Amino acid sequence: MSDNPYSPTTNPIGGFNKGQEFDISDVESVRRMHLSDEALIRGVGWLYLLGGALGVLAGLSGIVIGAEYAKNKYPPNNGPDLAVLGRELVYLGKFVLAVAIPLDYTGWTMTRLDPMGKIFAILFSTIGLICIPIGTLISAYMLYLLLSAKGKFIYSRHYKGIIAATPHTIYRSVLVWMVLASVMVAAALVVFFFLIQSIKLW
């Protein structure tokens, strides 16, 4: 068996192959070797899920509030044309929904290490590079993971077999989860501010 988990091989590294379980010690070491990167992918996936859920809420709120504004046919004296503002809010809400729904799907696939959403994950990680500084660092490393041989291995069916064989192995790094939690809170505050402003205008 090769020491390099990314080199071509006739058998998977750990896990199960045609119902046969490999030596648990090998599975354990391979899982621990990739556990921090696996946790990061899943953590960013949960971040995307939260951001997508908040985006869906914000998008629907914008559409509903915008539709109410659009009912005002005549603008008040020296006031904003609420009908125009309403149409803009509806367009904005639809745009937010168009981004939030794929973001939710991407997050869901990342938490499951499902390669079906990998293209979307690469796209959103590329966009995340503009979120200086923390978002840039996380997104840059995510792009490396998604495009590297290591990321391909983590997304493979062989690695899913390793996960199934090591359910007791859990990543416990506090720093990674603190950073991800901070980004989640920041995203939640941005959406909350948007909703509050929309309600004030209404």
* pLDDT: which is higher, 9 or 112: 112
Task: Give residue 174's pLDDT.
Answer: 54
CB 15 within 8 A of CB 160: yes
At residue 116, the pLDDT reads 92
Q: For 80-116, what is each residue's pLDDT tens digit? A: 677 778 888 889 889 989 999 999 999 999 999 999 9
Residue 17 lies inside a defined structural domain of this protein: no
Distance CA 178, CA 193 (A): 22
Environment class of 54 (CB within 10 Å of its CB; exposed 0-12, middle 13-18, buried 19+): buried
* C-alpha to C-alpha distance for 102 and 58, rounded to whole angstroms: 15
Is 140 inside a domain boundary?
Answer: yes
User: Does residue 167 sit within a domain?
Assistant: yes
Q: What are phi and psi of 148, to 5 degrees?
A: -90, 170
Strand partners, 16: 21
Dist. CA 184–CA 167, nearest whole Å:
26
pLDDT at 7 over 70: no
- Whole domain around residue 135: which residue ranges? 36-201
6 in a domain, yes or no? Answer: no
As a whole number of angstroms, the distance between CA 72 and CA 153 comes to 57
Q: Return d(Cα 202, Cα 180) in angstroms, integer.
A: 33
Confidence tier at 16 by pLDDT (50, 70, 90): very low
Give residue 122's pLDDT band: very low, low, confident or very high (50, 70, 90).
Answer: very high
Per-residue pLDDT at 175 exceeds 70? no
- For residue 87, is it within any domain? yes
pLDDT (average), residues 1-29: 52
Residue 8 in any domain: the answer is: no
Q: Which of 34-38, 113-117, 151-155, 165-169 is the least confident region?
A: 165-169
Q: Is residue 58 part of a domain?
A: yes
Q: Is residue 168 part of a domain?
A: yes
The mean pLDDT of 179-189, rounded to a whole number, is 63
pLDDT at 89: 86
| 186-202 average pLDDT score | 59
Residue 112 confidence (pLDDT) = 93
How confident is the model at residue 200, as a pLDDT? 55
Name the average pLDDT for the chain. 77
Query: pLDDT of 157-168, one tens digit each?
Result: 888 988 888 888
> What's the pTM value of the predicted model, to 2 decimals?
0.72
Domain total of the chain: 1
Residue linked to tokens 């920041």: 186
